[in-house]
Amino acid sequence: PVKVSKICCIGAGYVGGPTCAVVALKCPHIQVTIVDLNQARIDAWNSADFKLPIYEPGLEEVVRQARGRNLFFSTDVDKGIREADLIFVSVNTPTKKSGVGAGFAADLNYVESATRRIAAVATTNKIVVEKSTVPCRTAESMRTILEANSKPGTRFDILSNPEFLAEGTAITDLFKPDRVLIGSLQTQEGRDACEALAQVYANWVPRERILTVGLWSSELSKLAANAMLAQRISSVNALSAICEATGANIDEVAHAVGFDSRIGPKFLRASVGFGGSCFQKDILNLVYLSESLHLPQVAAYWRQVVEMNEYQKSRFSKTVVDTLFNTITGKHLAVLGFAFKADTGDTRESASISLIRDFLQERAYVTIYDPKVDDAQIWLDLSEALPSWPIETIKKHVSIARSALEACRQKEGIVIATEWKEFKEISWQAVYDQMSKPAFVFDGRMILDVEKLQQIGFTVKVIGRGDRL
Ligand code: NAD
Ligand code: UDX
């Protein structure tokens, strides 16, 4: 196998940035260049004061150590490609918005452009690695494009190396991955390319955690892992509805169920619904794949995981309306948290957006606070969620606060949408004192000390907790 000495990563986003920054940190002998077409993003990665384009605990430290040593960020995509012997393709693969498969299939336009660029520019052999999450057999299309457009004598080996990091814990996930998965063709050349990439990871990942499989299995495993993780959340959320109706407590149920070593305790937290850029997109992609393969029962099975999630979000908004005496028109609500989970500034598919949309459609006034999301992002997301509302109308109904305490001032209801730790620690007594009574708190993340809040005087509604004792 070739010894990799120069790596290029196409796509400086949530995956490409942290992943290749960690490769650079752990492999000082390899030069890593992360390229992107987005000048603003690259400028932020290069910024003198380390104002990086994404917030991720521990990331700044990694970039501080490696940047300028063997880690570089650039918009010169062609140079990056030309110099590298291994290229990660880590571009976005969002759900298609129009055309065949709209709303389900992955939009592979960015993967194709990046692949065509590699073919056009490369003058030496390259190992091309799919890092993006793609439908099964995308590697085949990449190979066809590369081979049809390459210079004579240049060879391409294609690997699949899906990324399993979760946002908010990306750096620890990358430092100590449960596994690294590499898929390759089972030919001598395929296995050699696989070994070349495995040697890069072996600089810090124990060999037994580096799994090597066939290309198609690797591609499908990524969709499968996300589908099964999301399915656990939808299962627990479905049970949370039963808890609310019966007086059972989902925390206790999940604890009891998770004690079974075959089930395990992780990822059983009921919530206001899962968000993030991956789960919904990847399941819809799996649904589309199943339908294309004429497997309608399989498609329906996975589709239900997403439908349950939609139900969970709307069920929670309905609880808020029902509890506030069946109307929130003209009422003032605080929504704490806008990111799709704690420890990230990412808002893609955040449940918070759906809740706020529902509240605005009921003509409530909403004050939002999130410690890491920029105002501009909030306005953009709300405009997209309410396409028929002019931004001035949205701004008449929504304000953004600088602290949780400020957001909660003189509200009729407070909604916890993201599990930021600081929401547990605000002075709930102070919040209570200036709320109109009865004072309602809706905990969509099960983070608050309910008994304490009840003692203060709040009426507390918690996801998955029945009122009937
Ligand atoms: P992102 O949108 O944050 O980043 C993608 C970047 O690629 C953008 O900055 C974009 O400008 C750039 N880009 C697009 N086309 C390009 C081209 N032709 N040349 C150069 N740059 C180009 O996306 P992301 O969240 O990093 O996700 C990337 C892939 O990784 C997706 O397929 C996603 O499904 C997968 N993934 C994401 C996560 C996650 O937690 N976000 C986890 C695992 C896997
Ligand atoms: C996910 C996968 O975990 C990761 O392996 C993959 O590479 C990308 O997709 P991510 O979306 O970043 O990662 O975060 P994750 O921690 O999985 O959370 C996704 C959503 O599920 C969040 O909205 C989170 O709040 C929610 N969630 C998670 C729950 O509601 N309950 C849980 O028990 C766990």
- Indicate the average pLDDT of the chain: 96
Residue whose pair of structure tokens reads 């909604």 in the numeric block: 415
221 Cβ below 6 A of ligand 2: no
Q: Cβ distance 187 to 181 under 8 Å? A: no
The owner of tokens 């920029």 is 374
At 243, give phi and psi (nearest 5°): -60, -50
The answer to whether the beta carbons of residues 283 and 302 sit under 8 Å apart is yes
Residues of the chain with CATH 3.40.50.720: 6-205, 248-462
Interval 90-115 mean pLDDT:
94
- Distance from the alpha carbon of residue 360 to the mean position of ligand 2, in angstroms: 26
Instruction: Give 332-376 pLDDT, tens digit per residue.
Output: 999 999 999 999 999 999 999 999 999 999 999 999 999 999 999
Phi and psi, residue 76, nearest 5°: -85, 80
Residue 278 assigned to a binding site: yes
Residue 468: its pLDDT value, please?
A: 60
**Region 248-462: CATH code:** 3.40.50.720
Q: What is the pLDDT of residue 194?
A: 98
> Which residue's entry shows tokens 């692949």?
115
Q: From the candidates 9, 136, 278, 408, which is the catalytic residue?
A: 278
Does the pLDDT value for residue 434 go beyond 90? Answer: no
Residues 177-212: tens digit of each pLDDT? 999 999 999 999 999 999 999 999 999 999 999 999
Q: How far is CA 225 from the centre of its chain?
A: 14
408 as an active site residue: the answer is no
**Residue 41, annotated ligand binder?**
yes
Confidence of residue 1 (pLDDT cuts 50, 70, 90): confident
Q: How far is the CA of 276 from the centre of ligand 2 (A)?
A: 7
pLDDT of residue 121: 96
Peptide bond before residue 296 is cis, with ω within 30 degrees of 0: no
Assess whether pLDDT exceeds 60 at residue 469: no
Q: Which atom of ligand 2 is nearest to the CA of 165?
A: 7
Q: Is 11's C-beta closer than 6 angstroms to any atom of ligand 1? A: yes
Q: Which CATH number fits domain 6-205: 3.40.50.720, 3.40.50.920, 3.40.30.10, 3.40.50.300?
A: 3.40.50.720
**Predicted complex: ipTM over 0.95:** yes
**What CA–CA distance (Å, rounded) separates 179 from 205?**
8
* Distance, first Cα to last Cα, the chain: 65
**What is the model's pLDDT at position 195?**
98
Are 292 and 109 in contact by the 8 Å Cβ rule? The answer is no
State the angle between helix axes of 109-121 and 138-149 in degrees (0 to 180), rounded to the nearest 10.
30
pTM to 2 decimals? Answer: 0.96
Contact 199, 1 (CB under 8 A): yes
> What pLDDT, in 10s, does the model give residues 2-33?
999 999 999 999 999 999 999 999 999 999 99
Q: How confident is the model at residue 261 (pLDDT cuts 50, 70, 90)?
A: very high
Please give the distance of CA 380 from its chain centroid, rounded to a whole number: 18
Query: What is the average per-residue pLDDT within 228-252?
Result: 97
Q: CB–CB of 30/72 below 8 Å?
A: no
Does 274 contact ligand 2 (Cβ within 6 A)? yes
Q: Which of 156, 160, 161 is nearest to 122 (CA)?
A: 156
Is residue 224 within 6 Å of ligand 2 at its C-beta?
A: no
- How many Å apart are CA 443 and CA 39, to the nearest integer? 40
